[in-house]
Structure 1
Amino acid sequence: MRLAAIDIGTNSIHMIVVQVKPDLSFEVVDREKEMVRLGAGGLEGGRLADGTQSAALDALQRFRQLAESRQVDEIVAAATSAVREAQNGGEFLAQVVQRTGIRVRVISGVEEARLVHLAAVYAVEAATGTTVVIDIGGGSMEMTLGTAEEVHIARSFPLGVIRLTERFGSGDPLPRSAERRLVKHIRQEAGAFLQQVRSSGFDRVITTSGTSLSLGQVALSGRRLFDSDRIHHSRLPAAALHRVRKQVVGLDMQRRLRLPGLDSRRADLVVSGAVLLDTVVGLLGAEEIILCDLALREGLVLDYIRRNGAQIARADRYPDIRRRSVVELGERCRWYPDHSRQVARLALSLFDQTRGLHGLGPREREWVEFAGLLHDVGGHISYIAHDEHSYYLIRNGGLRGFEPEEVEAIALMARYHRRGRPKKSHPAFAALRRPARQAVRAGAAMLRMAESLDRSHGQLLERIELQEDRDRFRLLLHARAPAELEAWAARRQSEAMEKLLGKPLTIESADAPYAQHPDHPAPLPGSPVRRRGRGRVREEHATRPAGQVARGRRPPADRD
């Protein structure tokens, strides 16, 4: 299965595309990032600016295009403090849906902390011991204490680098008085929690986010053999972090831009970020931190995998998103899979053996199969009128990969599988284009017959064989056990199929006759069939073999 995860943060928007493996691990196959600073000026009850909203929407539109080009099966997206706190956050999310079709979940700070913890302990393989995870974003800082299996404590603090820079970082370089006020503010917000974590004890501290990685790049860039592209899992001593803090606080913007390893896009935020991270690490009493380049987006992936293991296994089994979507709808509606597959199989057999009559192609063949798989999902609501319930559920069941007309055609085939027949007086049927209406007529007839041929839900028929005589068709049932109930039900429901065939239809066992059409008893095998043509009666023994139904004829005209 291929999955895209999008993190709409206060400072930047990230997306990763991953391939989920059968063992439920994952591999990143693509990634993209845009630093749009969505939360600038919008924190603490402000409004998201029009310019940053527009930039964010453009970025998300590009991300959607990239995800589609990578053929992802699912997009999961989450927004954090900027959208959560802004007065117009809901309006922004409505625009996201309208422009991109992406539905974004606004998550709480505690949920954000939990998801980041999942990613961090996965990234560094912290299988044993207790881990502190620190994630510094633009609007908030999240912290957790926990193990690889569970989070014991999770907190979110309004200590993001954009928020702190807007409040304390007006000077360039930062005045000592502003730095002291910033440290005091951090202690007031998070000091008690940090003391609690320190008292509890821990084995390691992992830091995520661009702020931590930028500070790590600056601190480690002077080392021999240091590769800035391989900073993940690097260990940064607390003393080295403190030196970087002192360094960046004392520099103005122009000199910070010349620091080796510093991302120029973070040069204005790195000062408050350095003071924040150094203060937090100092209050924890940690000797070092482990740098991690996995964060919320990877946490979204891991959380999705944990909650959707069965769906991921289904994606491996059904790589075609259309077929997988049909199976998922059936499972959500507690379908009868064996019966549904038998009906679909028999309907396809009828489709293939009557190609010369209906003239339909592979696209319509697939509609018939999917309608067969879903024809009984309405029973999830009630057996009474379940054909009508099936229509509603298929039409509104969120089938993916289908055009609207295809969904309507499949739903209508299921609607007519039991009673009624397609009529142009039915608005939904009349709204279809003529080719789709003809497909629904033919498909509904096949589906009704196929449903009858598994009346017992016992999957007794191994195959069916349609043969054409001069004045009728014979449907031979090859069964693994007596199938009198199926033959009886098929005879009762033969009218629609006879209209498609243009002749009467008899139902027979491949070995001995079952119930026949009341007006047209079938001849014994080998006996002459009386045919009338050109004013005389002829006797013939010839029977057209199965699969060779006369070609060139078409279904009845679309008159209703």
Structure 2
Amino acid sequence: MKRRRMKKIVDTPPDLQLSPGDKLAAIDIGSNSLRLVVAQVTPGPDYRVLDEERQSTRLARSVSSTGRLDEDSIEESLAALRRFKKIAAGFEVKTIRTIATCAVREAENGAEFCERALRDVELEIDVISSEQEAHLAFLSVARAFDITDRNVAVADIGGGSTEIILASAGHVEEIIATQLGAVRMTELYAPQNSLFQSAEDYARMTEEIDRELKKTVRKRPFVPQVMYGTGGTFTTLAAMQMAQKGEVGQPEWGYRITHADVSHMLDMLKKMNVKQRRGVAGLSADRADIIVAGLIIIDRIMARLDVNILHVHDRGIRDGLIISMIDPTDAARVSEEDSKREMEFFAKSCGVDMPHTLHVANLAVELYQQLAEPLGLAPADARLIYASAVLQDAGYLINYEKHHKHSYNLILNSQLPGFSRHELELIANVARYHRGSAPKKKHRNFTRLSSEDQVRVRALASILRLAGALDRSHSQHVQSVQAEKTPTQVKLLLASQGDSEVDLWAARSRAEFFEKVFDLEVVVCVGKPTSTSASAGAPTS
């Protein structure tokens, strides 16, 4: 299986170069606990773990009720960070990265906590978004399991939030961020000493989780064949399950659990108070009060996604962070040729008809380069229309009927090297409108763009539609196109070999979007190929 290169998910110093043998450390400040991993880079690039440490500080314990991190949790967390830093120093690590997630992200005094960590511990904290969390978790799963031929879900359950990733053939189709966390839900719906005072408490929590999932998990692009779970709730579930089945000592990684197993474990634990749960084999004392909330979240996600099989992953966002740190790829270091190669590999892995797609991409660039100056378009955007053309049919991976919409999601979440997040959003939108309706006010993907970018997308997409029509037959009969602008028209002279009747018909019938965007009539006619009529090819920087 080829390992696809990816852009950095979190920023790293531009001068940081890690080689095999170098040591590094990653710290994850979660809503329930802080975790440290010290690792050594190995060829691959890959790494081996040298040391790990965990400290439960319940940083999110009061965020839901007060909106703030409480002082005791802050002090415990700062003390843990001091210890973690000393442990990392003992290994003489070359670099240390610290990230914080939901609790610090949401708390009113989250920035103050980061300032204190910088001042008192001399650790700079990167507060990452839920989307970055999801990408790190997915990167970890994608490196640990072969998911290239499957439709899968990945769920990362934390103390304050849960991120759900839907991926097909190793490509992220959708990221769903929720406000469901084991600590958050316990704080809101469960008393301190016994999980539920009445059956109504359990029902209220379950109903709230279902409401959140109904709101966030709407139309699914597919039913996942399997779900992969990252985070302490999943590894604890695996440990309890193995203890019950006499399988203690088996690795948690990849452990298979059915939806029925989850339901049975939940039914047993919800009837116990905290003291009784602390006696359950495989359940750590510091997770006894929040485990039921975590299991309800798993149970309801599996029900919502109609997935019956769960595989536990014993790593997660820390693993994804380390991978991101040691992988030398980022947008600034990727050559144009490497970027093009990775883009084409992505398209091919999505089942795209590559001869057709690359031919359309070259025609699109040829058209764009001829029309950019007379239409007042930016010449540099030729690379965007080329990428949009190569990736426009990636959505075939999901299904044909709405493939342009699926292409948008796949491109947006692709993390393709050589493109900034902003550029990928533009490319995704151009691909989204290569067919189907024109951009509308109700299309959130379009209206979230700036007014200037909306103009760019409409221009690029309208030209891409014309280029796509010129190979409607998928036969590459249209060899090249010459474009000429007059005050009222754009004339396209096609140089073709073979029967181009279908392509000519398609170009005329699909010209309406272009005509509306530029207020110019499109006139298409066929000429004879000349020795100079060559495809423009991929734009060069």
> Which TM-score bucket, shorter chain as reference?
0.5 to 0.7
Counterpart of 1:80 in structure 2 is 101
Q: CA RMSD in A?
A: 2.2
User: What is the CA-CA distance between 1:246 and the residue it aligns to?
Assistant: 0.4
One of 184, 202, 205 as aligned partner of 2:207: 184
Shift of 1:45: 6.1
Q: How big is each residue's C-alpha offset from its partner over 1:377-425, in whole Å with a ceiling of 9 and x where there is no partner?
A: xxxxxxxxxxxxxxxxxxxxxxxxxxxxxxxxxxxxxxxxxxxxxxxxx
Matches of 2:326 and 2:167 in 1, distance apart?
20
Residue aligned with 1:59, SS = helix
Matched, 1:262 2:283: yes
Cα deviation per residue 1:477-528 (whole Å; 9 max; x = unaligned)? Answer: xxxxxxxxxxxxxxxxxxxxxxxxxxxxxxxxxxxxxxxxxxxxxxxxxxxx
For the 8 Å contact 2:64–2:188, the answer to whether it is kept is: no
Are the counterparts in 1 of residues 177 and 216 from structure 2 also a CA contact under 8 Å?
Answer: no
- 1:208 maps to which of 208, 218, 230: 230
Quickly say closer, same or farther: Cα 1:205–1:103, change in 2 above 3 A.
same
Give the Cα separation in 2 of the matches to 1:189 and 1:132: 17
Q: Write the distance in 2 (CA, Å) between the matches of 1:273 and 1:62.
A: 28
Q: Measure the CA separation in 1 of the matches of 2:215 and 2:124.
A: 37
Shift of residue 86 of structure 1?
A: 1.0
Q: Find the counterpart in structure 2 of residue 8 from structure 1.
A: 29
User: If the length of structure 1 is used for normalisation, what is the TM-score?
Assistant: 0.53
User: What is the Cα deviation at residue 89 of structure 1?
Assistant: 0.8
Aligned counterpart, 2:114: 93
How far 1:178 sits from its partner (Å)? 1.4
- Aligned pair count? 310
Please state if 1:41 is matched with 2:70: no
Output the CA distance in 1 between the equivalents of 2:108 and 2:217.
31
Q: How far apart are residue 43 of structure 1 and its match?
A: 3.5
Runs of 4+ in 1 over 4 A off after TM superposition: 307-312
Alpha-carbon distance between aligned partners in 2 of 1:262 and 1:78, rounded to the nearest angstrom:
27
Give distance in 2, aligned partners of 1:206 and 1:218: 17
Indicate how the Cα distance of structure 1 residues 106 and 310 shifts in structure 2: closer, same or farther if over 3 A, else same.
closer
d(CA) in 1 for partners of 2:203 and 2:136?
Answer: 32
**2:249 aligned with 1:227, yes or no?**
yes
Query: Aligned to 1:26, which of 47, 51, 57?
Result: 47
- Deviation of 1:266 (Å): 0.5
Please give the secondary structure, in 2, of the residue aligned with 1:200. Answer: coil
Residue 522 of structure 1 is matched in structure 2 by none
Contact 1:43-1:85 at 8 Å conserved across structures: no
Separation in 2, partners of 1:103, 1:44: 27
- For 2:91, the equivalent position in structure 1 comes to 70
1:7 aligned counterpart, secondary structure: strand
| Contact residue 195 and residue 284 of structure 1 kept, 8 A | no
SS of match in other structure, 2:123: coil
When Rg is computed on C-alpha atoms for both structures, the one with the higher figure is: 1
Q: Deviation per CA, 1:193-252, whole angstroms, max 9, x where unpaired?
A: 44533x513232101111111122222312234326x21211011111100010011111
Q: Distance in 2 between the 1:275 and 1:246 partners?
A: 10
Residue number among 48, 52, 55 corresponding to 2:76 in the alignment? 55
In the aligned structure 2, how far is the partner of 1:211 from the partner of 1:183? Answer: 17
Alpha-carbon distance between aligned partners in 2 of 1:194 and 1:241, rounded to the nearest angstrom: 20
SS at match of 1:170: coil
SS at match of 1:289: strand
Choose between structure 1 and 2 for higher RCO, CA contacts under 8 A separated by at least 6 residues: 2
TM-score between the two structures when normalised by the length of structure 2: 0.55
Quick one: distance in 1 between partners of 2:122 and 2:233? 31
1:156 alignment counterpart: 177
Give the Cα separation in 1 of the matches to 2:314 and 2:264.
Answer: 22
Q: Is the 8 A contact 1:43 1:82 kept in 2?
A: no
Distance 1:44 1:132, change over 3 A: farther
Change (3 A) 1:135 1:112: same
Matched, 1:276 2:276: no
- In the superposition, relative to structure 1, how do residues 173 and 161 fare at CA in structure 2: closer, same or farther (>3 Å)? closer
**Residue 310 to residue 165, structure 1, CA distance change in 2 (3 Å):** closer
SS of alignment partner, residue 43 of structure 1? helix
Check conservation: 2:33, 2:55, Cα contact below 8 A: yes
Q: Letter of the aligned partner of 1:102 in structure 2?
A: L
Q: Measure, in 1, the Cα distance between the counterparts of 2:54 and 2:90.
A: 17
